[in-house]
């Protein structure tokens, strides 16, 4: 296979059928201003279709969170998908770019009402004095937006990771794993095998 996105889509479909929880969970690694690694789990919310310029992996977050600040300072990131039941993982390395406001609005509108309220109420990554403080903020925004029409907060949007490298890893007996690396080569990809 010469297109890593097609291979990823095939593996992702298998994961969606076999993983008990969140097959779209991925570890997002960024770096602090001092260069220290920083990682957390986020959810894949979009994979661009064949022929889309700047194809990539899309996720959403609070732009004022720790990860938002790290992404603004350094757009180089890594993603890791691990599907234990399949014995597979996919590593992605590349750069983030912001999604368009229209794309963020469209995804935000699909979220559950209380998730949209939560995007307003959470001051993500900042100190929280007590759980009741968060609950009071949720109640306040629930009252402010009583219906289904809840606009997207200006501090909440998404990013697209455009990969430069994608590695597919498959568990094999005796730790002689199968590893295939795709690296960006102009508008296409070059691929090869790696020692386990």
Of 89, 29, 38, 83, residue with least CA distance to 59: 29
Contacts of 175 (CB under 8 A, 6+ apart): 196
Helix 113-121 × helix 131-144 angle, to 10°: 120
Q: Which among 170, 175, 179, 190 is annotated as catalytic?
A: 175
Neighbours of 168 (CB within 10 A): 21
Q: CA 46 to CA 24: how far, in whole Å? A: 10
Q: CA 105 to CA 112: how far, in whole Å? A: 14
Angle, CA of 106, 43 and 139, to the nearest 5°: 65
Of 50, 57, 69, residue with least CA distance to 165: 57
Of 188, 193, 174, 162, residue with least CA distance to 58: 162
Q: Are 154 and 59 in contact (CB under 8 A)?
A: no
- Respond yes or no: is residue 144 known to be catalytic: no
Which are the catalytic amino acids? 175
């Amino acid at each position: 296979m010469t297109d890593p996105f097609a291979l990823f889509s095939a593996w992702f479909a298998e994961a969606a059928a076999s993983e008990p929880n969140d097959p779209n969970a991925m570890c997002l690694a960024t770096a602090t201003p001092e260069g220290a690694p920083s990682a957390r789990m986020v959810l894949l919310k979009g994979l661009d279709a064949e022929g889309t310029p700047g194809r990539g992996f899309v996720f959403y977050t609070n732009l004022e969170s720790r990860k938002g600040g790290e992404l603004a300072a350094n757009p180089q990131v890594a993603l890791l998908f691990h599907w234990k039941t399949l014995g597979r993982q996919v590593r992605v390395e590349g750069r983030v770019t912001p999604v368009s406001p229209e794309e963020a609005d469209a995804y935000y509108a699909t979220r559950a009402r209380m998730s949209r309220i939560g995007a307003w109420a959470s001051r993500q990554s900042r100190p929280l004095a007590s759980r009741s403080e968060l609950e009071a903020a949720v109640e306040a925004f629930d009252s402010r937006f009583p219906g289904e029409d809840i606009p997207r907060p200006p501090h909440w949007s998404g990013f697209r990771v455009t990969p430069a490298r994608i590695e597919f890893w498959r568990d094999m007996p005796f730790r002689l794993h199968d590893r295939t690396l795709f690296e960006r080569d102009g508008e296409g990809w070059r691929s090869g095998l790696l020692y386990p």
